[in-house]
Structure 1
Amino acid sequence: MRGQTNFVRMLWRFNSVFNPNLQLNDHAREVRYAMTPPAPPTVHANVKVLYVHRPAGRKSRKLDDATESFVDETRMGAG
């Protein structure tokens, strides 16, 4: 029962603890130390080498031509 009343008491005290004006004033203060953003990456990674198993395309699937065409025709979003 004690834990449940703590939650209700916390709700009653919320307005005295949470003060949005204090938070906005903190943002308006002068910055004492400014952090520089990280430098953009100079080397672009080749996304194809990130795969452990490279996609093998259709030859890796065990579908015959009829099944493949059925899948292509009934695929959602195909126009």
Structure 2
Amino acid sequence: MNEVTRDFPQENRQLWLIQVFADSMRDVLEEGGRLPVYDDPADKTPASFVDLMQQYTGERVKTSELEELVDLLSPAFPNINIKWK
């Protein structure tokens, strides 16, 4: 994944955040519609979809920004029953 910072144009940042959502959703779908659980204790298992997205974004994105994106896009996945936020 490309490193994108807050200094990039807004359009690039929005596309990157949508890609983060898509990558996180791919992880959920690969786990049969569940949040991933990691075997390695050093890897923090996400408690929510937003936590999973933060594993991709690190400190570069505020939690509130990820929550807004989840509010916008999660209705497109009505059959996914996970803790979103």
Shorter-chain TM-score: what band?
under 0.3
TM-score (norm 2): 0.21
Which structure would you say has the larger RCO, counting Cα contacts within 8 Å and 6 or more residues apart?
Answer: 2
